[in-house]
A and B are shown apart, each in its own frame.
Chain A
Amino acid sequence: MVKDSAAFRHRFLPYLLVAPQVTITLVFFIWPAAQALYQSFLIEDAFGLSTEFVWFENFQFLLSDPGYLHSFKVTMVFASCTTFLSMGASLLLAVMADRVIRGAMIYKTFLIWPYAVAPAIAGVLWYFLFNPSIGILAYVIQSAGYDWNHYLQGSDAMILVIMAAAWKQISYNFLFFLAGLQSIPRSLLEAAAIDGASPFKRFWTVVFPLLSPTTFFLLVVNVVYAFFDTFGIIHATTSGGPAGATEILVYKVFNDGFIGLDLGGSAAQSVLLMFMVGIFTILQFRYVEKKVEY
């Protein structure tokens, strides 16, 4: 923020300027969040006639509910596989794109395409590829002797949503890895090359360690993405099934709150999720602070 001498003084203008942002934030963000917090301490009877204040009972119930713990486990598997797959593939592509001189721009143009595709549509595209009766990938897998059917097999459905989620995120990771790679000083790589380090060795001893801030940042972003932005993929393809095999936490909040109408339980889930986002946000900002110190 600017020093005194440069700041404007005005009695009501600054309030007018921040009013729209603050109003929308208070009405549509803070107030609902407070509501969720409040409701998470309540239990409503079956007819919605009376509510009872129950302190942490909703949370206790949730944390001992096998369904919720299962959903948590599913989310962890989904998030870690998506993150690993997407970051691995994009790192490989970014390292290659950083090596080539000719055509780099063309590769980049093609690789940023999935960024613009909605998660739900990414889900539908992969759903079509894996469709047991007409999907091309399902056809290839079935020719190899495996009976692919994501309508019945939980693990198949999980692979489907992971592929769709990882595919969608490749562009983002690729762009950040490429930017990270391009900011590594050439002189370091040249020095390593003169010392006789092979490209492969250079990557693991020089490039990868120097890339670690980017990697850490992307790790957080990808986990957040897999936790919270993949609702569309799940809803448009497997709807959490078969038998809850792909029911990630965000989908469960939606399902319990909107379809099951369990307000207290859903609110408690919301509060736990907010807590998780809070942790991720803090992690992300720690990264920013560290980077400033460099």
Chain B
Amino acid sequence: MVENRPILRFLSHLILILGVLCVFLPIWIAFVASTHAPHELLSAPIPWLPGDQFIQNYSEVLQEGVSGSDSISVAKMLFNSMIMALSIAIGKISISILAAYAIVYFQFPFRMTVFWIVFMTLMLPVEVRIVPTFSVIASLGLLNSYAGLSIPLIASATATFLFRQFFMTIPKELVEAAKMDRAGPLKFFRDILLPLSRTNLAALFVILFTYGWNQYLWPLLVTSDESYATIVVSIQKMMTAAESEPQWHLIMATSVLAMIPPVLVVIFMQKAFVKGLVDTEK
């Protein structure tokens, strides 16, 4: 720090602690609510500290689900979400790294056309072209399938640009040396480029896994069949059912379960994630 001011330092910590508490409040309350019996959540004020129904509530949602979406259990929803998130993350990374490799290391006609087509995706988020995209999926027969959930979302301009940016920082002597040693384009990609991209791959994985897991509008449109429902979308259905018969303890338990996987990925890969996030947007 520039100078030593104990009062200011105290104030900084105070503001940070208050900030962290505010940011954490919704999550804490959700967790607390998920550990109580339903009758304790009927009138305000609800308890501040966890109750003793933790195992009871969580095993109930995991095995049986909640009314409003009672045909499948939350365990199955977690499974669906996991498949969708992993396919989106891995799919996006694979097709983007290949496209970026072709754009940077090959001279071919229409290279700039490809570049601009990919760039266009930045301007076309799903939210703005809901109906026609739905018709395409429907006519391809992809409704209510894992493929329909993930494939339309795996085109990625951001990932392609990140890899492109990164490849351009790799000294071209490396390519020349590889060519001198008679390494073909695929060997160069596998043995040199992929290992060098490890950090970027990890960072992108965190960002894209979170992105995939948290998808809402798309799964809502594509899965009318409950057995493909993802957990994030299902919570809304539980809430609508809850208007008549509040099941807040179960809804909050499901919400906590829905948060855990992406939060764990972000926290455990924090370093790669922070670096990747700040880099991707440049």
Q: In the complex, are the beta carbons of A113 and B172 less than 8 A apart? A: no
Supply 6 further A-B pairs (C-beta < 8 A) apart from A13-B186, A33-B132: A6-B175, A30-B117, A93-B19, A127-B239, A129-B29, A277-B124
Q: How many residue pairs at the A-B interface have CB separations less than 8 Å?
A: 316
Which positions 183-205 of chain A face chain B at CB distance < 8 Å? 186, 189-190, 193, 199, 202
Q: Which residues of B contact A115 (CB under 8 A)?
A: 210, 266
- Cβ B103 vs Cβ A1 within 8 A: yes
Please give the distance in Å from B29's CB to the nearest CB on chain A. Answer: 6
- CA of A128 to CA of B249 in the docked complex: distance in angstroms? 11
Within 8 A of B (CB), among A111-160: 111-122, 124-129, 133-136, 138-139, 142
What is the interface of chain B, defined by CB distance below 8 A to chain A?
A: 1-3, 5, 8-9, 12-13, 15-16, 19-20, 23-27, 29-30, 33, 41-46, 94-96, 98-99, 101-108, 111, 114, 117-118, 120-125, 127-137, 151-152, 154-155, 160, 168, 172, 175-176, 179, 185-186, 188, 210, 213-214, 216-217, 220-221, 232-233, 235-236, 239, 246, 248, 251-252, 255, 258-259, 262-263, 265-267, 270, 273-274, 277-278, 281-282
Return the contact of B16 from the options A18, A32, A93, A119 (Cβ within 8 A): A93
Q: From B2, B111, B220, B258, name the one whose CB has the most chain A CB atoms within 10 angstroms.
A: B2
Instruction: Give every chain B residue within 8 A of A55 (Cβ-Cβ).
Output: none
With a cutoff of 8 Å between Cβ atoms, the chain A residues found around residue B220 in the complex are 235
Would you call B274 and A112 a contact (CB within 8 A)?
A: yes
Contact B128 A8 (CB under 8 A): no
Among the 9-residue stretches A45-53, A62-70, A76-84, A253-261, the one with 4 or more Cβ atoms under 8 Å from chain B is A253-261
Given contacts A99-B12, A126-B26, A231-B217, contact A28 B44 (CB under 8 A): no
Tell me, yes or no, whether A243 is within 8 Å of chain B by CB: no
Task: Report whether A117 and B259 are in contact in the complex, using a CB–CB cutoff of 8 Å.
Answer: yes
Known interface pairs A170-B23, A254-B217. Does A25 touch B120 (Cβ–Cβ under 8 Å)? yes
**CB pair B27 A113 closer than 8 Å:** yes
Cβ of A3 under 8 Å from chain B = yes
Contact with B along A204-245 (1 / 0, CB 8 A): 000000000000010001000000110110011000000000
Q: Are the CB atoms of A35 and B125 closer together than 8 Å?
A: no
- The answer to whether B267 touches A109 (Cβ under 8 A) is yes
Contact across chains for A96 and B124 when beta carbons are under 8 A apart: no
Chain A residues positioned under 8 Å from B29 (CB to CB)? 125, 128-129, 136
Evaluate whether A175 and B278 lie within 8 angstroms (CB atoms) in the complex, with A27-B136, A258-B130, A277-B125 already known. Answer: yes
B19 contacts A21, C-beta separation under 8 Å: no
| Cβ-defined partner of B129 (8 Å) among A14, A136, A274 | A274
Measured in the bound complex, the distance between the Cα atoms of B41 and A273 in whole Å is 41
User: Can you spell out 9 A-B residue pairs with CB atoms less than 8 angstroms apart?
Assistant: A6-B105, A7-B175, A8-B106, A17-B99, A96-B15, A125-B30, A134-B43, A179-B278, A229-B127
Chain A residues contacting B105 (CB-CB under 8 Å) are 2, 6-8
Bound-state CA distance A184–B133 (Å) is 45
Max count, chain A CB within 10 A of own CB: residue among B13, B42, B216, B266:
B216
A116-B262, A258-B131 as given contacts; A92 in contact with B214, CB under 8 Å: no
Checking A18, A92, A273, A277 against B99 with a beta-carbon cut-off of 8 angstroms, the contacting residue is A18
Q: How far is the CA of A235 from the CA of B234 in the complex (A)?
A: 12
CB neighbours (8 Å) of A89 from chain B are 19
Distance between Cα atoms of A126 and B236 in the complex (Å) = 13
When chains A and B are docked, how far (Å) is the Cα of A25 from the Cα of B123?
12
Cα-based distance from A140 to B216 in the complex (angstroms): 31
- A67, chain B: closest CB distance, angstroms: 18
